[in-house]
Homo-oligomer: A and B are copies of this chain.
Amino acid sequence: MKGIILIMDGMGDRPLRELGYQTPLQAANTPNMDEMASEGINGIMDSIAPGIIPGSDTAHISILGYDPYDVYTGRGPFEAFGVGVDVVEGDIAFRCNFSTADEDGVVTDRRAGRIRDGTKDIVEVLNTMQLDDFPDVEIIFKESTGHRAVLVLRGEGLSDNVSDADPKVEGNKFREVVALDGSPEAKKTADILNRVVVKSYEMVKDHPVNLERIANGEPPANIIIPRGAGAVPVVESINDKYGLNSACIAETGLIKGICRFAGMDIIEMEDVTGGVDTNLDNIVDTIVDQVRNSSHDFFLVNIDGADEAGHDGNIEEKLGFIEKVDKVVMSKLKELDNVYLILTADHSTPISVMNHSGDPVPMIIRGPEVRRDDVSKFSEFDAAKGGLCRICGGDVMNILMDLMNNSHKFGA
């Protein structure tokens, strides 16, 4: 028996006047999802807790069975997981920008002209960085998309309780990083970071990529500005925890990062954008192929387009994308046998809010042994009348593992 949690990122919504006070999911024509609702048990789910506004990261952490209040130590570590740095316990991770600074350290462009190409080459040079006073500290850079990057410090006696170098406002000098407590670890980490910032400028200001940018009248990516320090959380892998061989089928680095954190295999796909224009055929073909032909027995699938449409406040795109997923993805997934399939969202991204909200999301669990209820449509409203009632994200893995006969009795 295999299990799939299919998360339609940001799919939940609120009633919209433009849709006759229906949500996009209610108004959408979704015969395959509705069939699945009829065949399954339905409910609503708060991925963290009622009213709490989840990020996609914290929501996925919770749905995968980890407590985000325990393990979510900041953006830095999960960016590091996201870009695929092989972090280890004790590492301190930071989000970074490639920025443009003048020789006095004044940041003239926080995003280095929104640089798109060449950061990989710059990072190659930065990764040779060593600090004379801290020879035991390993300094690891990794480029992300655009002007974004990750910095990981590895060594003994480091702390994540340090301030940001980000000056926030352009035209200011990068900030001196300071220790936020009196510990020697925080002091040492702040010292290291201050040298890393200065040294990054020295090392890459004349990098060929930057010389070419300057020649083209573009701001050079000549300094690294770290922020968002976090100690890398190390947890028992989801495979060990539940006895699984699990895989992640996702479009975005953010979700892949959460799955790497949980120790899952990452299945890469071509042509997926994380937007409403993504290649849904590739996604569903990957899922079906993995379920039928791989040894993986648990899949976390994330499809991101509805969230993007919600952030954009675009009703037609959100509704249309939901219908497209129904037609392209759900029509094929419903043919899978011997699978427990959970269809849900990580959070609501209401059109009216244009950001995440704390509203619960609908959920269906379909599979051979669920207690089917009489819900026959997939929507925020119908789901609330289902047999699952209202559950939390932290309950999902336990419920799925029980159904998959992959769980153990607690007690006698």
Contact = CB atoms under 8 A, between A and B. Distances in A.
Interface of A: 14-15, 21, 23, 44, 48-59, 61, 68, 72, 75, 78, 254, 350, 352-353, 355-359, 369-374, 380-381, 384-392, 395-402, 405, 407-412
Nearest to A399: B51
Contact of A384 (B357, B373, B381): B373
How many subunits of this chain does the assembly comprise?
2
Nearest to A16: B369
A81 to B, nearest CB: 12
Nearest to A95: B412
A386 B381 CA distance: 9
B51 A409 contact: no
Contact of A395 (B51, B55, B59): B51
A400 B359 CA distance: 10
In the A-B complex, the 10 residue pairs with the closest CB atoms: A55-B411, A51-B398, A358-B402, A58-B411, A51-B399, A389-B390, A50-B395, A55-B412, A384-B387, A57-B411
A77 to B, nearest CB: 12
Contact of A358 (B54, B352, B372, B399): B399
A356 B15 CA distance: 37
A409 B53 contact: yes
A72 B411 CA distance: 8
B58 A407 contact: no
A359 B373 CA distance: 14
A48 to B, nearest CB: 7
Nearest to A59: B411
A409 B353 CA distance: 12
